Amino acid sequence: MKTGTKFIHAGTEPDPSTGAIMTPIYQTSTYVQEAPGQNKGYEYARSQNPTRTALEAAYAAIENGKFGLAFSSGVAATDAVIKLLSPGDEVICSNDLYGGSYRLFSKIFEKFGIKFHYINMQDADGIRQYINASTKLIWIETPTNPLMNICDIEAIAAIAKEGNILLCVDNTFASPYLQNPLDLGADIVMHSATKYLGGHSDVIQGALMMNSQELRDQLYFIQKSCGAVPGPMDCFLVLRGIKTLHLRMQRHCENGRAIAEYLRSHPKVGKVWWCGFEDHPGYAIAKKQMRDFGGMMSFEMKDNSIDEAKRVLSSTKLFALAESLGGVESLINHPASMTHASIPREERLKNGLSDSLIRLSVGVEDAEDLIEDLAKAIG
């Protein structure tokens, strides 16, 4: 089945009672049982909900996996993965990762005796020196947020399998339209479905996809026991969003290329981080494991001043100054004070995230209008 057809039909069947082509919103907290312990597959909505069941089937399908699980947010999905571990276990993760993931790891789970190593993963072989008997999980983003670094999923998966270590890939920036980590050897894929999967900036949700029945059962137990589940309306919204994912991503990619090339040619713009440039250090790997290069990018002004960056951030009209990404509308963001503010400044600077860095989530508007908006803001 081709990608677009799969996204439109994933997880959904006409409602058997009415023939409704869209999955109904089952707005209920409990279900009547035929007899004690006898039900129709649903007993309490924290454990199961038919709208969520359809979405979880869609999640599995779009990542070429066997199982999907829906959570109340991307951070909740990440939280569930870390809860697979025990005190004394160690995690190797990217040093350039989403600030919310860093906050969860460093401020919550380190207190429970889990150790995190934040390293540069652009050289897969460099991971080996951090692996020991306590290493239980490798956590990567690719492309990374916000510096668009690329990790070789297939190479890292091979290293993980050598040590019987779980590999989880945060695939939020790429989306299943551009990249499928399970096909490359990952054990778990995580998405902030708030972003490209929902696609309309109207829902908060997270997702996990996997092929292992054992992993699915462990993560489902955590999902059910800890209760970070999405409501049926949220599930309905993401189901709807997935149906147009391929159409939106095509436009995100087209616009992303146009904006990246415009910024790189602008005399007042300094460095532009976008993994579709042929001289990007990870271009060859990105080209190998991705179908296109997406609409996420970052840049700095040539004078590299924080005041100039703030002026640009406050001057756009179509690019809204806001956190998040992946919606149909374009967003402009200041990672140092917004999405990555929870990472200590010295750590941000060490990893190349400057105070003057500007991140763009390029939407699906007309590219000419977006370029004009940036041109007026940059001056």
Q: State the catalytic residues.
A: 46, 98, 170, 195
CB 56 within 8 A of CB 208: no
CB 72 within 8 A of CB 232: no
**Three-state SS for 369?**
helix
Query: CA 182, 249, 6 angle in degrees (round to 5)?
Result: 55
Read off the tokens for 59.
């999640």
Task: Dump the DSSP string for 107-176.
Answer: IIIGGGT-EEEEE--SSGGGGGGG--TTEEEEEEESS-TTT-----HHHHHHHHHHTT-EEEEE-TTTHH
d(CA 193, CA 71): 9
Residue-wise burial string across 34-70, b where 16 or more C-beta atoms lie within 10 A, e elsewhere: eeeeeeeebeebeebbbbbbbbbbbbbbbbebebbbb
Per-residue CA distances from 160 to 59, 157, 166, 216 (Å): 24, 5, 6, 19
Per-residue CA distances from 83 to 65, 223, 300, 304 (Å): 21, 10, 37, 41
The helix/strand count (H/E) of the chain reads as: 13, 12
Task: Dump the DSSP string for 196-256.
Answer: TTT-SS----EEEEES-HHHHHHHHHHHHHH-----HHHHHHHHHHHTTHHHHHHHHHHHH
Nearby residues of 78 by Cβ (< 8 Å), 6 or more positions away: 100, 101, 104, 170, 190, 206
Locus of tokens 């995190």: 116
Q: Which amino acid is at 346?
A: E
